[in-house]
Amino acid sequence: MTCLCGKELTYNEAGLSKKFLADGQLLCLHCLAKRLDVTEERLKEKIEEFLRAGCKLFVKE
C-alpha cells in the first residue's frame, strides 16, 4: 500500500486512514494530517488512544 505522495504506508497509517477517511483512501501520517487539518503529533496520540482501546487496526511500533 502506498500513499498518494508515493510513501509506503505503515500498518498504523492505514489504520488511521480507515478510521478517519470515509472515502476509503489510505494516506500517510503527513498527508492525513494535512487532509484533516491537524498536526501529525495529534494523529500519533490518536494511534496511542486506539491502541489502548484495543483497536485491531493498530499495532505497537
* Count of residues that bind Zn ion according to CB under 5 A: 5
Rounded to a whole number of angstroms, the CA Rg of the chain reads 11
Among the listed residues 16, 28, 43, 47, the single contact to Zn ion using CB under 5 A: 28
Helix, strand, or coil (residue 48): helix
Does 29 interact with Zn ion (rule: CB under 5 A)?
A: no
Does 3 interact with Zn ion (rule: CB under 5 A)?
A: yes
C-beta of 3 vs 43, nearer to Zn ion: 3
Does 1 interact with Zn ion (rule: CB under 5 A)?
A: no
Cβ-Cβ contacts under 8 Å for 11 (sequence gap 6 or more) = 58, 59
